[in-house]
Structure 1
């Protein structure tokens, strides 16, 4: 990791014990485990951001779809009234 920067990280003793236990299970050293944990955290943050954008998009489209359906319904009612009127004239 020649492009890596060294940082100082402070952890509570309980958290450090958990990091050590998890890194031992995964057969990694602390640095590797913490790098992987940060990468996963950043990836999850990106997923959350995308889900939020999708949720907002669906909400916006829901409003647009409602507006379009209401406009279509109004036109359908006009068309139906015209059709009924034509039927009545034909009788």
Structure 2
């Protein structure tokens, strides 16, 4: 992607179209559909690495989203046995 001859204006015009197209809930996180859409959009600009671009986007998005498990695990409330018993008695 570093050596591709695509202008920033062209990227700013095709990437939003590609992201809008993967928002249609056909497959989880747009996998497959996004590869096809980005491949075709990049082919329209004379490039052949559209699916690889989507792979890069997909890996970064999934990695960033999975980082949310760290604060969840570290700061989730841990109940004691007494609190659990009190909750059972209320129900």
| TM tier, smaller | 0.3 to 0.5
Q: Please identify which structure carries the higher helix content.
A: 1
TM-score, reference length from structure 1: 0.37
TM-score, reference length from structure 2: 0.37
Structure showing greater Rg = 1
Larger relative contact order, structure 1 or 2 (CA cutoff 8 Å, min sep 6): 2
